[in-house]
Amino acid sequence: GVIRRRLGTDPKGFNPLTENSADVSELYSYCMAFMADRRRTDPNVWEYSLAHSVEISDDYKQYTFKIRPGVTWQLPAVDLNDPQYAWLKSADREVTARDFQFAYELLKIVIH
């Protein structure tokens, strides 16, 4: 589908790690799925998306999310016949903990 949204500002970019405007945050929320989120009306209750459970250590310093089976990456809008994108042809590439580890490490580099 198509979504049309009038932006209140002229963002410098659309990367939510480097551009923190409300417009970019809103656009990001339309196209990203999260492991889980706390319910607004009851923060003790988790609402799951990519995960099916969360385990929290007694000291609240470690959160372990269990990824739902069957969560896969969507195919990007590129020419999959181009040899440089051949590795993307697999439509059933499951999301793994390594994907989240990579994203976390990337975040540390961007923020640092």
Q: What is the block-wise mean pLDDT of the chain (112 residues), using blocks of 10 residues?
A: 82 80 84 87 92 94 93 85 84 85 84 70
- Predicted pLDDT at 91: 64
Q: How far is it, in rounded angstroms, from Cα 42 to Cα 71?
A: 26
Distance between first and last Cα of the chain? 37
How far is residue 63's CA from residue 60's CA, in Å, rounded to a whole number?
A: 7
Confidence at residue 73, expressed as pLDDT on a 0 to 100 scale: 84
